[in-house]
Structure 1
Amino acid sequence: MTRRPGRATVPYLAGWLFADVLLVIVLVVLGGEQTPHDRTAARDPSPAAAPTRTARPTATPEPAPSPTSTRRAGAAGLDPATRSITVHTDADALVAGSKAAKADLERQVSDGIERFKGRTAAFVMVFGTVHGVGGAVDSGRSDAYATAVARLLPRTAPAFFPPYSEKIIRGYHDSSGDIGSGTARIELFFLLR
């Protein structure tokens, strides 16, 4: 019985992909939760609505904090609805550092993010597809392509994409057989407004 090279790594990579997606889901859920103070402020945002009480005079009265000043930073969280753009270029040329492939990809990304003008991506997942011999997805080349696209994104639109870090911009291979070779799907996560 002969083994096909590369087949033993598929379950291993699928496990890591599952773990990364699970981490994103946890971040979205935790980021979207409200503290008890946030729920109270949402129900009664005006300090004037509170009943007035006669207090004992003090030497220096302190102003009451406004609901917006007491909200914790980052309480909004990630928007669970993702947006995506799709690009297509010569994957092997991009991985090899071809200037023409980079320019082509930069143009497509700039055109694709135009509809999100005024927003900034908080988390980005890139799914690359490169077919190998026989038309099957080559997971190694697909990962390399997705990573090359991910590294290029912040240079393409620094005001839109966060700085490159594998924690917030990450490349994966897409093993769907119905996607054309050289295609990269860029999933964008935004902060809730």
Structure 2
Amino acid sequence: MLRPEALAGWIFADLLIVLFIVGLGSATAPEIPDPAAVEEPLPKIVGMRQDPEILTIDYDAGALIGSGAGSEDEGRLVCERLNEVTGALQGERAALALIFGGGKDIGVALESAVRIAEQLPCAAPTLFDGTTTRDFWDGSLPRGTARLEVFLFTTD
């Protein structure tokens, strides 16, 4: 004689098989729409232009990377200069901005590039909204000059 404990596993397995068969039998096939009836416009592909817009600004490197009121004043001047040079780019959005600080002192040039990057949203908020920035040193530029290479989004 079989004990009830020995049958419990078999009964459980049989119930699972029955539930599986009932589930398969109650499944319905999805309706596949006619491709000709679907008339959704294709989404525009957004990419990044491969040719950057080259912008150059001059600034007082010592005042910009310093601390205190002089740094804030120079930051405002950099914001105004950036606003002037980005005027032709109104209505666009920047995907990437490479900022090259100039001068023989690498530390000063890189810190200047970082401070200029901080001023981008002030200068053109819609242009630089969510833009990725990278800071570099360019020893061929004089101290107090920065070159910005701005890569714009495109929907073409």
> TM over 0.5: same fold?
yes
What whole-Å deviation, never above 9, does each CA across 1:165-193 have from its counterpart, x for those lacking one?
xxx111111121xx221001111001123
Task: Verify: 1:139 aligned to 2:106, yes or no.
Answer: yes
Within 5 A, what are the aligned runs for 1:35-114?
Answer: 63-69=37-43, 75-97=45-67, 98-114=71-87
Over the matched positions of the two proteins, sequence identity in percent amounts to: 27
Task: Verify: 1:116 aligned to 2:89, yes or no.
Answer: yes
Task: Verify: 1:173 aligned to 2:112, yes or no.
Answer: no
How far apart in 2 are the matches of 1:60 and 1:122? 39
Following TM superposition, by how much is the alpha carbon of 1:79 offset from its aligned partner in structure 2, in angstroms?
A: 0.4
Following TM superposition, by how much is the alpha carbon of 1:152 offset from its aligned partner in structure 2, in angstroms?
A: 1.6
* 2:13 alignment counterpart: none
How far apart in 2 are the matches of 1:158 and 1:95? 22
How far apart in 2 are the matches of 1:60 and 1:103? 60
* 1:30 alignment counterpart: none
Following TM superposition, by how much is the alpha carbon of 1:116 offset from its aligned partner in structure 2, in angstroms?
A: 0.9
RMSD after superposition: 2.2
Q: Which has the higher strand share?
A: 2
User: What letter matches 1:156 in structure 2?
Assistant: A
CA, structure 1 residues 60+149, in 2 after alignment: closer, same or farther (shift >3 Å)? closer
* 2:122 alignment counterpart: 155
What SS does the corresponding residue of 1:140 show, helix, strand or coil? helix
CA, structure 1 residues 114+175, in 2 after alignment: closer, same or farther (shift >3 Å)? same
The answer for unaligned runs of 5 or more in structure 2 is: 1-30
Task: Verify: 1:191 aligned to 2:150, yes or no.
Answer: no
How many residues align? The count is 120
What SS does the corresponding residue of 1:170 show, helix, strand or coil? strand
User: What letter matches 2:107 in structure 1?
Assistant: G
How far apart in 1 are the matches of 2:130 and 2:96? 10
Following TM superposition, by how much is the alpha carbon of 1:60 offset from its aligned partner in structure 2, in angstroms?
A: 9.2
* 2:23 alignment counterpart: none
CA, structure 1 residues 61+77, in 2 after alignment: closer, same or farther (shift >3 Å)? closer
The answer for unaligned runs of 5 or more in structure 1 is: 1-58, 131-136
User: What letter matches 2:40 in structure 1?
Assistant: S
Q: Of the two, which has the highest radius of gyration?
A: 2
How far apart in 1 are the matches of 2:87 and 2:75? 18
What whole-Å deviation, never above 9, does each CA across 1:117-158 have from its counterpart, x for those lacking one?
11111110000013xxxxxx1111111111111122123322
CA, structure 1 residues 184+60, in 2 after alignment: closer, same or farther (shift >3 Å)? closer
